[in-house]
Amino acid sequence: MSKKRKIVIISISIIIALVLLSVAVFFITRNVTEVANENRLSKMYDKMMKDETYQITFKLNEDNQYTVSRSGDVANIDTYNDGKHLTNIVKDGNTYLLMYQTKKYYMYQNNTTGLGELSNELNRVIQSQEPEKGEEKIDGKTYKYEEYKGVSYFLMNEEDSVIEENTNTRFYFEGDDLQYIKTITGDKSELIQVDVSYHIDNQIFEIPSDFQEG
């Protein structure tokens, strides 16, 4: 093989390698950009609504927490408010309010408000804006957050009237898993723990046998 031909082959090989490298860099850069632009809250919402089956607990402390469980057209909203325990069960197009202190339940016909309240609010937040993104340490561990302005829905300890326009909410993630929500109002903030699951025991949609209709 002549020296000139060898040079041509080497040159072609280098050009091909450079083209392949450019293509690889393009796709890697695009994937990194897509990941950076990905909204974790939106991704969680899509997973929730795929089968409309999810269970999410919001906990301020032992005496103030609530769990929203949904499976299709039935739901259970279990609440502890200053230690007082009550549950709303939505099924068959009605809502059943369970009072644990008296072991009585009350039926509200043609009422399914609690069925999609949480998912509707999350969708409203997601559609309202592109979130501000950042990182913050909580108990010594760093979490990525998405902050939405003008959101106060998740505030649990509402001592004074809240002006929603002046309230921001941060959603903290470990990977794609939501771990905390912080509501910020002026120089005050409230941090709640969050636990998300997509597996539900269907027994929670039944009225306990020891409850009587009130």
Question: pTM of this prediction?
Answer: 0.81
162 pLDDT band (50/70/90 cuts)?
low
Mean pLDDT of 23-42: 55
Per-residue confidence (pLDDT) for residue 38, from 0 to 100? 84
Instruction: Give tens-digit pLDDT for 71-118.
Output: 999 999 999 999 999 999 999 999 999 999 999 999 999 999 999 999
Mean pLDDT of 48-74: 97
Please state which CATH number belongs to domain 41-203.
2.50.20.10
Query: Cα 77–83–137 angle (5° rounding)?
Result: 80
Lay out the sheet containing 188-197: strands in order across. 132-138, 141-149, 167-174, 177-185, 188-197, 53-61, 64-71, 74-81, 84-91, 94-99, 104-108, 212-213
Is the pLDDT at 187 greater than 90? The verdict is: no
If you search the block for the tokens 């340490």, which residue do you land on? 137
Question: Can you tell me whether residue 206 is helix, strand or coil?
Answer: coil
For the chain, give every domain's residue range. Answer: 1-37, 41-203
